[in-house]
Structure 1
């Protein structure tokens, strides 16, 4: 459920949203879905490193992707602008180090990496400056791979949430209905196109490739209501407004029998350092 709003072409300028997720870092880590093992394995296999590829995780948050790459045998360094998220990432995985900084401003020194990855975070980074920084820290043949879990929210649930959002947050700085009900492929086409344009403009990479993995996950009512407050559309809502949104979503799921199967597509843009 991305939040593009009036800054749809420049989401990286919405620092108020980008840095709001740490308000409940433990919920974020608990509720957000992981990434397909096949994607992680493909990135590791395509990296030029030795037996222990060195991975830079940009916008690592609480370390969800970082822990998956650690489990796949990688050394991982995270870069994360929110100190609250970074602290939880360190606490949950002692083998993950995290530098607290915006990626565009982060100074790598002499450190170099076999892969630069970013899970559901690259849209908060300037697409040209981010690609240029990635090119700077990757060795020859190194891999830049940025990816998102894209949920296709069923129409009845999306409409129920949109209706209550328009009522309780009439002066929202973005269009809740469009953000929630617009086909996710349309939203992510904008994001992925801008990622590719940023890579081409920055230079230093081969032509970007698109990777996609389709899967699904069944949520109980309570599990999905745990996920919703971690999305950028809701992280800054007043508690009473959020409660009304969650009540409407819960009622919609109850009408479905108390659970919901969410189709996901994990969509990636990947480019080799030339």
Structure 2
């Protein structure tokens, strides 16, 4: 059976609740601008699950939940931010408000537990243990993230602009997690799954793709980045103005290389 640990732990991403629950400040923008996930990934998760009932952890506005619905699944979302959950419900995804660790499944079982861009906000051992408890035999846990690489010259420009406006901010576009950075999240999630028990062999999948953003599309997405969700409006406006000028100087668009990275395992209990 899965093991839920107790005792003190060093601070981890899931303990930074002020960031984890800041995205709902502008749920409509988040839903409009955040990238979706490859259909090939959704199809592979569905094909590797014993049935169509999906629990979407950290469902946010329902971005990936709607993708699983389009693939024929029945989706229930869980999110700690009532604003995000409300948007998800209005978009057609049933959602309940709670952290996954505290959420009450009320005896419900699922064929897949999925988490897009959200599992690092969940205690990796407690979350994996709870996933094992709510999955049917052979049910699949899948956590996934969209890593990305900015063109190096634009990463330099964007970082310089942010540092000029916010000298004390750690925000650095050059160091924003790409494949190497997200691999650390994958490794932490995998370690949590192993420690929790109740799962078979771990797998890692990767899907590479690109998206081109216009100047306005890129500026529209930027306020949804974690550290930018909490800066003063005048500082954000200055960051966006400088960034827009940099994109204009680079030809008016940003070509983003995405790498969707997945860690997954099937329930063995």
Under TM normalisation by the shorter chain, which class is it?
Answer: over 0.9
Map 1:18-29 to 2 at 5 A. 18-29=20-31
2:171 maps to: 176
Cα contact 2:148–2:179 (8 A) shared by 1:
no
Correspondence for 2:53? 54
Contact 2:114 2:141 (8 Å CA) reproduced = yes
Count of aligned pairs: 259
Correspondence for 1:244: 238
Distance 1:13-1:183 versus aligned 2 partners, 3 A rule: closer
- Structure 1 position 258 matched with structure 2 position 217: no
1:142 aligns with 2:139: yes
Q: Is the 8 A contact 1:80 1:98 kept in 2?
A: yes
Cα distance change on mapping 1:9 and 1:182 into 2, 3 Å? farther
Residues 183 and 101 from structure 1, CA distance in 2 versus in 1: closer, same or farther, beyond 3 angstroms?
A: closer
Cα distance between partner residues in 2 of 1:257 and 1:165? 20
For structure 2, list consecutive stretches of 5 or more residues without a partner in the other structure: 1-9
RMSD, matched Cα: 1.4
1:120 aligns to 2:117 (yes or no): yes
2:150 counterpart (153, 161, 168): 153
Give the structure-1-normalised TM-score: 0.91
Once the two structures are superposed, residues 222-250 of structure 1 have per-residue CA deviations (whole angstroms, 9 ceiling, x without a partner) of 00111111110211011111111112221
CA shift, 1:206, in A, is 1.2
The aligned residue for residue 166 of structure 1 is 163
Q: After TM superposition, where is structure 1 displaced by more than 6 Å over at least 4 residues in a row?
A: none
8 Å Cα contact 2:59/2:78 also seen in 1: yes
What pairs with 1:90-109 in structure 2 (closer than 5 Å)?
Answer: 90-93=89-92, 96-109=93-106
Equivalent pair of 2:206/2:259 in contact (CA under 8 Å) = yes
Are residues 1:39 and 2:41 paired? yes
TM-score, normalisation: structure 2: 0.93
**Distance change (3 Å), C-alpha of 1:198 and 1:183:** closer
3-state SS, counterpart of residue 114 of structure 2: strand
Q: Which residue of structure 1 lines up, in the alignment, with residue 3 of structure 2?
A: none
Corresponding residue for residue 3 of structure 1: none
Per-residue Cα deviation, 1:175-199 (whole angstroms, up to 9, x for no partner): 222x643561221121111000000
